[in-house]
Structure 1
């Protein structure tokens, strides 16, 4: 897909700014840029540098990919960051120099990184995560007493965020190493819920290897050792394991197990409000989204289940962007199987609007777009443009 023009970039910034109810002066102040620069960028008279674009995106609370949607910018930043991420964890079990960041500041930085992951802001992750891995590793190695389990939990969370970028962009070997780092940290956290969360993330390695039955066994083991769901966090962690087990059971073709785990997740989800617990969204809305995931995982004969959910419910805007876009990508697949090509394309476009990087790197979005283009070759240019953007042609 051709690189967006300077005018396109300016128009995107202005559109997002208006949606945020900000004036140009507000945006200039928040981005630490001059008002004259913001005006020039929005009218297409000036191309923002990478640093200026990052500042504007941060001020608008979006990933830079929401402003510049060409294939190169975020892709290149993520792929370029992979060696530094790999280097940061190469000697994870060997102590380094003492940390330079106080624990409370590290908490805030890790929390911000979690928000990037939930919001599918992979460019931000790529820019900052290697340094954050080094800081959290150093903190764990030099922590003692009550601070040590805290540091272990921070490292586990940081490794999970790094894994999100590695896994989504196809670096599955590095992803597996980051998952093992997360599990290593979780064992030192003195917290069974952190260990259970690591088991949830570990499922990615089974998805990548298509070892679905082995993944289901691993999740059963994690479910058996997870603490009883007596409070919100324990309920959410156990419910998330059941959600993940339902999906992998579906991919294993075990519809009975998929339905059993989905029922368990639904029961647990009804006990707490939707929210982010231990870095994972869980609650009634997340379970509804997974009903579509399970139906699509089971295959075309279950397509009506996905369509039935979509007729009654769509993800609310406060659900994390990655989960929202995942719903629309999976619904698009179901709609394609049902012969609803136009609806399928509309769902893909919604997914792109919500989380462009997540959509573009999702293999099912790519497969669906490629099939739609084959079926509707004579259709409007927009379908071909989308297919090019998602890497389907």
Structure 2
């Protein structure tokens, strides 16, 4: 059974107060809180197993290696990758996207085209702009309508033999809009030979992922948004693609042989995991997967969707509120402003005095804000431990902010 109080009891931080009020944490799209089971795994690594991996014959090194590779296999199953060596540990989504953009440099030339969308986080814009600067390729952007919905007719127009990369997010971090990834991938496969990159930072925490069914070439996400430590993340890539492309970083672990005459590279996944990894964090990422699987990803999705529906219904009863993407299919996020209140951070500061943590500003999505001609929004984002009572507190807080700022 889905027992919200039992789930909340696993997060010690939820017992604390902020400004003399019980913490209401609604900034999960930025980072989620960590259950005790994940924190205990981190602690156990550093107090019982601390050693480098893949390089030592001594017991601690062997045990640490076993635990990290077990975590890799858990993540393989979590996203349904065909092989565990298609799962590359990274620092997070941003590093994964930069890695892909870098290793694709040799595959692009002047006047080739890269397609992204208006709904992208800066992490899925800037690396592609940098790739365009290196190669002379051009960036094309799928526009959105007044509801924040991608206008896929433009994708049909953009796709051609010049298209080398299509990179879009599955869920918008700023608006929570769920993009039609399956349709985008099908259109791309039909009309080009482009590499397909999916930013799953905001989807992996909320619903099931099947990279084989999606048939994407790359899929990236962050651990810290799905109950794991910061500085953890995953890049999935198809075996044949990763084997054919060059490494990202050079150094230890990623070599097969090294001499002053030249170097040969290790096989997957180590070819893309140079240097000492975040061993404790990577093991804890596997523990976060265990936590989500125990609850059930469908249960998580159902609960969060119910929270979103309730939050939107309650907030819309406030006169003068504007919810962005209100009519779009969304998950996990409600992003809004109050009429006559010019700065979203003012609302955020009043909510903080009431113990309510939300995110304000442009959410690293300035093109979206420019489209709506706003500086930013107030964003409340949900996780499995949030409650309907917390939404009631949020709504009362927004009403108070409106009274104070109008």
TM-score, reference length from structure 1 = 0.27
Say which structure is richer in helix. Answer: 1
TM-score, reference length from structure 2 = 0.26
- The one of the two structures with greater contact order (alpha-carbon pairs below 8 A, sep at least 6) is 2
